Amino acid sequence: MNLKGKIVFVSGASAGIGAATALAFASEGARLLLAARRPGKLADVASRALSLGAAAVHSIDLDVRSRYAVQRTIDELPPEWAEIEVLVNNAGLSRGMDKLYTGRIEDWEEMIDTNIKGLLYVARAVIPGMVVRRRGHVVTLGSMAGEIVYPNGAVYCGTKAAARAINDGLREDLLGTPVRVTSVDPGLVETDFSLVRFHGDSSRASKVYKGIKPLKAEDIADVILWAVTRPDHVNIARVSLSSVDQANTLLIHREQ
């Protein structure tokens, strides 16, 4: 696919993988529909995207946990932004790293509402248009955590296992249409992920990446761009990637 002038919708675009993905598509001349909960940071990403060659940028202050806000956002898009070609369903987070029986229910609810329900709300609002127009590509941001659960991460891993199942079911439901569906499942990526997980505790967050060379957000954006730009008849079902220092969610080599 030639992305020049194509509308690409990225959720959770204000930082991390979402921001890196927006900038990668900007370099291809895409028109970017960017959504996130932090309008200040989103404005900065939009400015950088335009400087890199984005054909246009339309930014939206959006919390995907609100089904009504998501649907209203899509329904009320200006006509020139309505025909979304690529959806990068990226918004997600982790909160806490506790044993299941001591976990904070508020953390569980935030993860479930964002990583599962938010994923569904955005998909439900955007994909019908793709089916009607008979073109489109949906990229779900999954995780290696959706395949192998690690200690003290049961709920987060559960949300990513759900995302994996939803993505696979969506591909089945879209069989017979030209709409493609891809899951990109990274291992450790050094972004604000751990800082968010530990509620702003930077000391604890930095230890997650100590002694390893983790993936960068740009590595994931590169894979997303690659999957989307394959020939129209090629569907990349799933890409799992990690640093060479990580075999899976349980086995990580750290230099002393």
User: pLDDT tens-digit profile of 16-29?
Assistant: 999 999 999 999 99
Answer yes or no: is 248 within a domain.
Answer: no
DSSP string, 37-80: S-HHHHHHHHHHHHHHT-SEEEEEE--TT-HHHHHHHHHTS-GG
What's the structural domain count of the chain? 1
Dist CA 101 CA 247 (whole Å): 28
Q: Quick one: average pLDDT of 32-46?
A: 97
- The catalytic residues are 156
Residue 256: which pLDDT band, with cuts at 50, 70 and 90?
Answer: confident
Answer yes or no: is 256 within a domain.
Answer: no
Residue 193 tokens read as: 């992920």
Answer yes or no: is 249 within a domain.
Answer: no
Q: Which domain holds residue 71?
A: 7-241
User: pLDDT tens-digit profile of 203-223?
Assistant: 999 999 999 999 999 999 999
Answer yes or no: is 246 within a domain.
Answer: no
Answer yes or no: is 254 within a domain.
Answer: no
Q: The domain spanning residue 217 has which CATH number?
A: 3.40.50.720
Is residue 1 predicted with pLDDT exceeding 90? no
Residue 105 tokens read as: 């229910």
| Cβ contact 148:242 at 8 Å | no
In this prediction, residue 119 carries a pLDDT of 98
Q: Quick one: average pLDDT of 125-133?
A: 98
Answer yes or no: is 83 within a domain.
Answer: yes
Average pLDDT, the chain: 97
Burial track 215-233 (b if 16+ CB lie within 10 A, e otherwise): bbbebbbebbbebbeeeee
176 burial via Cβ count (<10 Å: 0-12, 13-18, 19+): exposed
Answer yes or no: is 60 within a domain.
Answer: yes
Answer yes or no: is 82 within a domain.
Answer: yes
The secondary structure of residue 90, as a DSSP letter, is: -
Is residue 85 predicted with pLDDT exceeding 90? yes
